[in-house]
Structure 1
Amino acid sequence: MAGGITDTGEPYSAFVGLVYMFNLIVGTGALTMPRAFATAGWVLSLTLISFLAFMSYMTTTFVIEAMAAANAQLRWKRREQDEQINDNDSTSDYSDDDSTARGRAEPETKPILSVQRSGGPVDHFDIAERVEMGQMASMFFNKVGVNMFYICIIVYLYGDLAIYAAAVPISLMEVACGNHSCSAGAVKYNDIDACWGSVTRKDAYRVFLSVFTVLLGPFTFFNAQKTKYLQILTSLMRWIAFTMMIILALLRIGAGAGEGHPPAASLAGVPNLFGVCVYSFMCQHSLPSLVTPISNKKRVGVLVLADYVLILGFYALLSFTAIFCFDSALIHDMYTLNFTDNCHVLDVPVLRYFLGLFPVFTISTNFPIIAVTLRNNWKTLFHRDGGTYPWVVDRVVFPLITLVPPIVVAFCTHNLESLVGITGAYAGTGIQYVVPALLVYHARRHVEPVTARHAVNPHRSPFRHAAWVWFVVLWAIFCLMFVTANIILTDTKK
């Protein structure tokens, strides 16, 4: 996540890039969206999610433009360094006075998109090298801005890990303690209900959380890499599970057995819906890894727009089938649980266990990767040029401060709707709105003085006017104020 330029990886087509982006965005957040739709109302939810999809698409185009500007900036610096080396090599042929005169005659700043010595124009804005968001922040922000960026992404990753750490034990608890007799309809259990004899469901959740920590926690102390085949497997399982839930809900509604009667609008559910939607459209921090390997980037903008339209339609289909199939009060924070504890909806044991364990397999493979990413961001935040960390700090302290907080949060609460809502509403707002807007604003200011006047960034955002940037920033501030005020009012009423 953080760091400099790395290898771009094996190139792939624009269509494959579209599929990768779809799989990245449609993740755990989608499983909490039906519950958020049910509490906020279907009209209000559809309106808000459509607007937030538009806002996320806008900031995605901002990040892509900033990536192109970062590539141009790096090429300009390399050219400047090459020219300085060439000038230093040629000083041996001239006297000091001659070289001084030549130095005064040369301009200090040259356009980076001028014709090269080979005689052909070069597209310096080509996104050929992967520049992560942390590197872009270092290039375009001052020291305070860089630190704020890392703090924001660290908080977001902590929230991500807390959600993952809670989602897996919840799924295991429901499989172990849920309704498997097919003798009753949908049941929503309480934490104090029995699971195994005197062991309550809450106790079982904490047991599974402890096992999860022991098995996956050690990966935080080492490097973890996502393999291509593991990604393909998890993506396949995701598609099967989501398609199965949509079809089952449609069949139940078509048979006249739908129990849902959601309200049109409920303002009380807006804060959580906002956080869930922001979290569910999060991809900006991974765009450098997704876009850079695309072999032909001429149609990237069109494909990104198509991706967002498809994802919006997918979220609407999943959520609408859920809220009209199940009673709003019985929709779980983790939507898969509505199929594992209701045998009238799905009475095939193998499929019910598959949906119940689906989050376990997919989320467990992501947890070590997110943990290592967070650990590396901590290291980058405190890193000083030329300095190294002692072995204990590097191998023990950083992994512990990465692993312990989210596990503690998961022990204290397993309310996924709140965890997703808070993560998306606060840290997610910064990563998805504020950082991309400020990146593209400063990228434009950095690149313009050293580019030819006729140079045009082919990857520039359709939202080119500075007013769009400030609109995004003001929207983010408004959202943070609204969510905070609502939380305060809710706590006051309690």
Structure 2
Amino acid sequence: MPGGITESGEPYSPFVGLVYMFNLIVGTGALTMPKVFASAGWVVSISLLSFLGFMSYMTTTFVIEAMASTNAQLRWKRREQEEVHDSDSTSEYSDDDVVARGRSELETKPILSVQRSGGHVDHFDIVERVEMGQMASMFFNKVGVNMFYICIIVYLYGDMAIYAAAVPISLMEMACGNHSCSAGSVKYNDTDPCWGSVTRKDAYRVFLSVFTLFLGPFIFFNAQKTKYLQILTSLMRWIAFTMMIILALIRIGKDSGKGRPAVASFSGVPNLFGVCVYSFMCQHSLPSVVTPISDKKRVGTLVLVDYTLILVFYILLSFTAIFCFDSTLLHDMYTLNFTDNCDVLNIPILRYFLGLFPVFTISTNFPIIAVTLRNNWKTLFFRDGGTYPWVVDRIVFPLITLVPPIIVAFFTNNLESLVGITGAYAGTGIQYIVPACLVYYSRRHLEPTVGRDAINKHRSPFRHTFWVGFVLVWAVSCLMFVTANIILTDTKK
């Protein structure tokens, strides 16, 4: 995401903002959650999921406070420039005129407010959309800004690799799986045949190639998500998730559930951590979601309600899944459990809808993520006053955006690991470290400008510096834990 300032866009109600945030957070990560729930045990999973949801909510309030601080900083700088311009333009007047004019301005213009045609606007009103990259450039030094862009680029690479693997997996399962109701639920291996001598792994790579050929060219241009496409994908998401929860509840209610999940299994915690962090990710897109909300008086309450609903939704989806299906038969992509099991769903058209649901929703998001990553690469290497040659701008940047995630997806289709690693490393940086640093340095920059008495009405409920330190310590501890676990696992192998 380029670090620029743009207008807030067409405003919408707080309720619509709540729905947008829900749709932003609930995505591919939710489909991989049931399997990691089963591997870590339901008590451990619910406990860790609840705690990570709380941590994500905290850092979301950090980002919103930093957005308000940035708006105040920009208004203050703009006002200083106007005052300098006014002082220059009054140089032709007498000293008495200047003094009289200054008194008049002080009497009519409050220190911490600006007057616009629409009425009084507080300095801390979030009316200009300021992306995280712009906030980083305002509050971080050069090293911090570069580290931010490297972190967001790594995260977006992981996001693209997950998307690039999820779509071919769904297509391969639909093309190669035995969907007859007499077959029963079967867990296939990559070496099992698909079409004659063509294995399932070969079929996956064929579909990955088709996916790349169809969606890759969009990266060489500008792709924009249309309003109607967003509505359609959101509608499909709600239908699919609701259907899976209801179907699992029906099977459990009939006492036909096959799941016997463990209470706790700490060997599955590292992947669970990464998936949970990834599944609560929204911080990098908050400026686009929060800024257009027309009435932001209760934005903090809306965010809390949203996180509570999402937490309940995740627990309900995963809890029903692990008791409905045998844990050894749970797929990385949860939707696939409904395509090869007629005991749960015996209506062919609905089984194909769930099986292909990730294909439609993920495919529409892939070009958007790719263009965002490409623009971040351009911003990272941008130098003031310089322009890129046509070949670099139109060929090199799109290629370095597209090729690495496709190569990763070509060699592995393990969604659980991809989501876990992306969430555990880059996700930790974007969800914990960057918001904590942004809110800390925005407070330090703002105090000399507007004074200690100025109150940010969008300040986080976790306003004490202790919480900033707690988030940073937690993030570093998690990175060390996940890394140590990976090293120990590889050593045992």
Q: Would you say same fold, with TM above 0.5?
A: yes
Shift of 1:180: 1.4
1:354-393 correspondence to structure 2 within 5 Å: 354-393=353-392
Deviations 1:383-402 (A, max 9, x none): 00110000000000000000
> Is the Cα contact below 8 Å between 1:38 and 1:262 reproduced in 2?
yes
Matched, 1:309 2:315: no
Partner of 2:132: 133
For the residue of structure 1 that corresponds to 2:334, the secondary structure is coil
> Is the Cα contact below 8 Å between 1:113 and 1:122 reproduced in 2?
no
1:147 maps to amino acid: N
Deviations 1:192-218 (A, max 9, x none): 000001100000000000000000000
Shift of 1:335: 0.3
Aligned counterparts of 1:75 and 1:142: Cα–Cα separation in 2 = 21
Aligned counterparts of 1:172 and 1:44: Cα–Cα separation in 2 = 33
For the residue of structure 2 that corresponds to 1:298, the secondary structure is coil
Aligned counterparts of 2:472 and 2:449: Cα–Cα separation in 1 = 27
Partner of 1:143: 142
1:185-334 correspondence to structure 2 within 5 Å: 185-334=184-333
Aligned counterparts of 1:142 and 1:2: Cα–Cα separation in 2 = 17
For the residue of structure 2 that corresponds to 1:91, the secondary structure is coil
For the residue of structure 1 that corresponds to 2:3, the secondary structure is coil
**Distance change >3 Å, CA 117–CA 128, structure 1 → 2:** closer
For the residue of structure 1 that corresponds to 2:337, the secondary structure is helix
Aligned counterparts of 1:265 and 1:239: Cα–Cα separation in 2 = 30
1:130 maps to amino acid: R
Aligned counterparts of 1:465 and 1:280: Cα–Cα separation in 2 = 27
Partner of 2:13: 13
How many residues get paired? 482
Shift of 1:9: 1.1
Aligned counterparts of 2:410 and 2:428: Cα–Cα separation in 1 = 25
Shift of 1:7: 1.9
Matched, 1:38 2:38: yes
With normalisation by structure 1, the TM-score equals: 0.95
Aligned counterparts of 1:408 and 1:414: Cα–Cα separation in 2 = 11
2:165 maps to amino acid: A
**Distance change >3 Å, CA 319–CA 115, structure 1 → 2:** closer
Aligned counterparts of 2:52 and 2:110: Cα–Cα separation in 1 = 38
Aligned counterparts of 1:428 and 1:452: Cα–Cα separation in 2 = 34
Partner of 2:407: 408
2:23 maps to amino acid: N
Aligned counterparts of 1:263 and 1:293: Cα–Cα separation in 2 = 44
2:370 maps to amino acid: A
Aligned counterparts of 1:463 and 1:9: Cα–Cα separation in 2 = 29
> Is the Cα contact below 8 Å between 1:5 and 1:132 reproduced in 2?
yes
Shift of 1:115: 8.2
Aligned counterparts of 1:117 and 1:255: Cα–Cα separation in 2 = 63
Aligned counterparts of 1:43 and 1:14: Cα–Cα separation in 2 = 34
Aligned counterparts of 1:93 and 1:456: Cα–Cα separation in 2 = 37
2:482 maps to amino acid: V
Shift of 1:2: 2.1
Aligned counterparts of 1:250 and 1:25: Cα–Cα separation in 2 = 24
With normalisation by structure 2, the TM-score equals: 0.95
> Is the Cα contact below 8 Å between 1:161 and 1:367 reproduced in 2?
yes
**Distance change >3 Å, CA 485–CA 112, structure 1 → 2:** farther
**Distance change >3 Å, CA 458–CA 183, structure 1 → 2:** same
Matched, 1:399 2:402: no
Aligned counterparts of 2:216 and 2:4: Cα–Cα separation in 1 = 27
1:68 maps to amino acid: A
> Is the Cα contact below 8 Å between 2:114 and 2:123 reproduced in 1?
no
Partner of 1:52: 52
Aligned counterparts of 1:240 and 1:282: Cα–Cα separation in 2 = 22
> Is the Cα contact below 8 Å between 2:114 and 2:122 reproduced in 1?
no
> Is the Cα contact below 8 Å between 2:57 and 2:307 reproduced in 1?
yes
2:45 maps to amino acid: S
Give the share of equivalent positions with the same residue, in percent: 82
For the residue of structure 1 that corresponds to 2:260, the secondary structure is coil
1:464-475 correspondence to structure 2 within 5 Å: 464-475=463-474
Aligned counterparts of 1:465 and 1:121: Cα–Cα separation in 2 = 30
> Is the Cα contact below 8 Å between 2:271 and 2:417 reproduced in 1?
yes
Matched, 1:342 2:341: yes
Aligned counterparts of 2:115 and 2:133: Cα–Cα separation in 1 = 30
Task: Extract unaligned runs of 5+ from structure 1.
Answer: 100-109
Aligned counterparts of 1:59 and 1:114: Cα–Cα separation in 2 = 27
1:23 maps to amino acid: N
Aligned counterparts of 2:94 and 2:302: Cα–Cα separation in 1 = 55
Aligned counterparts of 1:470 and 1:24: Cα–Cα separation in 2 = 27
Shift of 1:93: 3.7
Task: Extract unaligned runs of 5+ from structure 2.
Answer: 99-108
Partner of 2:91: 91
**Distance change >3 Å, CA 114–CA 221, structure 1 → 2:** closer
Deviations 1:115-168 (A, max 9, x none): 8799x9751000010000000001111110000000000000000000000000
> Is the Cα contact below 8 Å between 2:332 and 2:416 reproduced in 1?
yes
> Is the Cα contact below 8 Å between 2:251 and 2:344 reproduced in 1?
yes
Output the aligned Cα RMSD: 1.8
For the residue of structure 1 that corresponds to 2:457, the secondary structure is coil
Partner of 1:104: none
> Is the Cα contact below 8 Å between 1:209 and 1:411 reproduced in 2?
yes
1:177 maps to amino acid: C
Partner of 2:62: 62
> Is the Cα contact below 8 Å between 1:62 and 1:460 reproduced in 2?
yes
Shift of 1:179: 1.6
For the residue of structure 1 that corresponds to 2:187, the secondary structure is coil
Partner of 1:78: 78
1:69 maps to amino acid: S
For the residue of structure 2 that corresponds to 1:6, the secondary structure is strand
Aligned counterparts of 1:440 and 1:45: Cα–Cα separation in 2 = 30
**Distance change >3 Å, CA 121–CA 14, structure 1 → 2:** closer
Q: Detail structure 1 runs of 4+ shifted over 4 Å in the superposition.
A: 114-118
1:2 maps to amino acid: P
Aligned counterparts of 1:215 and 1:392: Cα–Cα separation in 2 = 22
Aligned counterparts of 1:472 and 1:453: Cα–Cα separation in 2 = 24
Deviations 1:432-459 (A, max 9, x none): 0000000000000011111144321000
For the residue of structure 2 that corresponds to 1:130, the secondary structure is strand
Shift of 1:111: 9.6
For the residue of structure 1 that corresponds to 2:194, the secondary structure is strand
Aligned counterparts of 2:162 and 2:241: Cα–Cα separation in 1 = 19
